[in-house]
Structure 1
Amino acid sequence: MDIYGASTFRVAAVDLNGQMRGKRVPASYATKLEGGAVRMPLSVLNVDIMGADIEDSPLVFETGDADGILRPTNRGAMPLPWLDSVQPLVPMMMYLDDGTPFYGDPRHALKIVLERYHARGWQVIASTELEFTLVDDAGKRPRHVRDPRSGRRVVASEILSLSQMDTFDPFLSALYDGCAAMGIEAQTTTSEAGVGQFEITLNHQDALRAADDTWFFKSLIRGLANKFGMAATFMAKPFPGDSGNGMHMHFSVLDAEGANIFNDGGPRGTDALRHAVAGCLKALRPSTLIMAPHANSFERMVPGAHAPTAISWAYENRTAAIRIPGGAPAARRIEHRVAGGDINPYLTFAVILGAALTGIEDGVEPPAPITGSAYDQDLPQLSEDWATAINDFEASAQMKRIFDPRLIRNLVMTKRQELEHMSQLPVENHWKVYLEKV
């Protein structure tokens, strides 16, 4: 494996909170990775957002806190453009000693869902739109970012403003260069409704690579922002009263001949599209925990504040949780608009695509698509708060059709531990936990 002549490099797998967990290893390990040269405790992928072990974790008392084996994904070594030294990253996945995938690895969870599509001769094509906020974190609390040219603080939102992009052009240009170096296909950038907020769209591609790119992209943005004297955050709600950060996922499904199974030649879409929508709608409440995984996440889930909270779908309607965009029928797709920017991409992709497939498998019909604003209608809602979201996720039969029951157990224990910890912190201090982690 080419590690760019570096004397050391990094290996990392993804934990349940979307954090990179791994090691720095010598260059000599490059030829040993496939053979399982790097081992870590299985419990490392099940620590809480603060990085602490889960109390009474089954991974400890069932396995004696056994090691798992890290093996590389097919991505190979990637440069990390925000570092001053040459320090590549090799993305990894966790396996048990007998070679079976570790059930607590979120990337494995997504692969299992995608294998169910592959068994039908289908390929999922997906992309994400990611919102993030640039923040001045130099003081005792985060403040709105300063204009790099004038030094004055940015005080107003600039929706689709080109001058706002001019203001931060050195950072955004470095971001595109970083994406190119890492093999991330970044598309459009827009200035969004929040102060210092931007959205970048990643390319439509195979769903597993799209999830990978979303994971890498979040680290790239945070790392580069630090090089430019700022912080970049995907916190769902960085500032009270300001626009929150979301992640919209688009997906379509191709059959063995490369035809889009959602395309009926017109604007409505096929039965398969409607069944997939129905599956996604059914999963919205029990999957709230995946879409809003942290205490701060629920600050964004306010009706009328650009975050869909009602269980609904529609054609070309951005107030609905599930939107069917217009455009050419051959590109017919589903846009899932609920998730915050603070999610774990692998779990989010897995639950959305798993829910869509359960709808197709069951042949479920959705209710009629809404018209008008979803905020003004009496519609069923997502889980109302974090504790309820944990309970709804744990109790859901549909979630058990998507995730290994042991992953569900691990995630529930993780989130209950975090809930207890965060309940003891003043809300105004939550940012200290989340700002540059999520």
Structure 2
Amino acid sequence: MMTKNWLRKNPQVRTIRVAAADLNGQARGKRVPARFADKVVADGTRFPMSVLNLDIWGEDIDDSPLIFDTGDADGVLKPTERGFVPMPWLEAPTALLPIWMFRDNGQPYDGDPRHALRNVLDRYRTHGLTPVVATELEFFLIDDSGKKLQVPLSPRSGKRRKAAETLSIRALDAFDTFFTDLYDACEAMDIPADTAISETGLGQFEINLMHSDEALRAADDTWLFKMLVKGLARRHGFAASFMAKPYAEYSGNGLHTHFSLLDSNGANVFDNGGPEGTAMLHHAVGGCLAAMHDSTLIFAPHANSYDRLVPGMHAPTGIAWAYENRTAAVRIPSGSPKARRIEHRVAGGDVNPYLMLAAILGAALIGIEDAIEPPKPITGNAYALDLPQIPDSWDEAIADFETSDMVARIFPPELIRNYVLTKKQERHYMAELSPEEQVEVYLDTV
């Protein structure tokens, strides 16, 4: 088996982590000596199903039926097809084995976010369609050693640049040692990191991951990349954060998704040879817009998420689509018709990538299945138009997600229930914290 061979070829690895993503995208699992890894590879491991349904602090959900009602029963965690990946942010040579949860009878556990995406992809296969997905991740490098967050000292100059430096080569060069290590680590982990740019925020950067016709792998890449960036930044003496809005006065972190669809012959079904795209593209857009309001809780899962979704701050607030217009929630980029695709711009950097891709691709598929016609594409500034709005509060997003017919067509009932219970508990306890205390919670976690 490939996973066993990887350890044989990497005898320097003495310990492994086995970890699955919970509903918040947090890695939950165990540390195992490498000499016992063969047993984990062959038989999997076990931990309670409730572990994938913890709140952002890692606490049990108070009224979860997964705990006392079922005796806090175990699930079986099996390796994903990814196999072992190194963890270059740790000092000791260590490998991560991604796992996902099944029931004792072999059925996938519906509360596992990776299975939620797999369910959506299985539905695409019944239509003879394959999504091709790429993600763009924004994050801040932050010195959080004092009472106030600030951009770290440049390792090159020893100075702080207290200004946004959009597409600045100087800003990238200031942290060249970090980015060099990051790209080397991505290569070691087989994460397809492409272009890096400096963004509009204070110490903010964006890295694009290359497109993949394996959407589960694209989600894995995104999940692993977030883990890597945060861990590697700490090794360099500062923090990296994907939280939606660490600085009130600057734009927040987005996580934009580009996707197209291939038919059984490998042809892009969004390509009609021109800039407008096919009827199937329009229907996919229609589905994304129709589900957007009710699925906002996936794209903005935390209290801090709603600080990002404000007009005029480079995050969409109106539900609309457009050609080559970054003020719209859904954008159709220009370029070669062969690469015609949809860009979904709502999600913050603080999302769970598995749930995010499931929500986007699931909505697009509903649009295709129901032949949903979108409204006319907008032109000009979306913030200045009278448009249906994305929820601007956590309360509204939780309520609409819980009762939505569209959401129920994308996610299984158990996942919806667990996710809503998680968010209600987090909302309750976050209300007791000051904004500064909330930042402390989110800075390293999301």
Q: Secondary structure at the match of 1:239?
A: coil
1:271 maps to 279
Candidates 369, 375, 380, aligned match of 2:388: 380
Distance apart, 1:154 and its partner CA: 2.0
* Counterpart position of 2:402: 394
Shift of 1:34: 4.5
For 1:76-155, what aligned pairs fall within 5 Å after superposition? 76-155=83-162
Question: Could you tell me which residue of structure 2 aligns to residue 361 of structure 1?
Answer: 369
Deviation, 1:120, is 1.5
Q: Provide the TM-score with structure 2 as the length reference.
A: 0.97
Q: TM-score, normalised by structure 1?
A: 0.99
Question: 1:37-436 maps to which residues of 2 (within 5 A)?
Answer: 37-205=44-212, 206-436=214-444
3-state SS, counterpart of residue 22 of structure 1 = strand
> Deviation at 1:33?
2.7
Structure 2: gaps of 5 or more residues? none
Q: CA deviation at 1:37?
A: 4.0
Q: Deviations over 1:254-288 (max 9, x none)?
A: 00000001111111111110000000001111011
Kindly state the Cα deviation for residue 35 of structure 1 after the two structures are TM-superposed.
Answer: 4.0
Q: Does 1:26 find its partner at 2:33? A: yes
SS at match of 2:285: helix
User: Which residue type is aligned with residue 412 of structure 2?
Assistant: D
- Structure 1: state its 5+ residue gaps: none
Q: CA deviation at 1:91?
A: 0.4
Q: Which amino acid aligns with 1:403?
A: F
- Please say which of residues 226-235 and 136-145 is displaced more in the overlay: 136-145
Q: Deviations over 1:197-249 (max 9, x none)?
A: 00000000021111110000001100110111110000100111112100100
Q: State the match for 1:15 in structure 2.
A: 22
Task: Give 1:13's aligned amino acid.
Answer: A
The alignment partner of 2:282 has SS state of helix
Q: Is the 8 A contact 1:127 1:203 kept in 2?
A: yes
Q: CA deviation at 1:139?
A: 1.4
Q: Which amino acid aligns with 1:383?
A: P
Q: Percent identity?
A: 59
Residues 392, 72 of structure 1: alpha-carbon distance in 2 compared, 3 angstrom cutoff: same
- The letter of the residue matching 2:440 is K
In 2: Cα distance, 1:99 partner to 1:109 partner: 16
Distance 2:263 2:302 in 1: 36
- Alpha-carbon distance between aligned partners in 2 of 1:309 and 1:115, rounded to the nearest angstrom: 31
The answer to whether the 8 A contact 2:44-2:79 is kept is no
CA distance in 2, matches of 1:154, 1:57: 47
- Which amino acid in 2 is paired with 1:294? H
In 1, Cα distance between the equivalents of 2:96 and 2:69? Answer: 31
- 3-state SS of paired residue (1:430): helix
Contact 1:29 1:37 (C-alpha < 8 Å) held by counterparts: no
SS of match in other structure, 2:94:
coil
How far the C-alpha of 1:12 sits from its partner, in A, is: 0.2
Question: Could you tell me how far apart the structure 2 residues matched to 1:191 and 1:374 are?
Answer: 24
For residues 141 and 16 of structure 1, what CA distance do their matches in structure 2 show?
30
Q: State the distance in 2 between where 1:248 and 1:71 align.
A: 30
RMSD: 1.0
CA distance in 2, matches of 1:33, 1:272: 44
The secondary structure found in structure 2 opposite 1:144 is coil
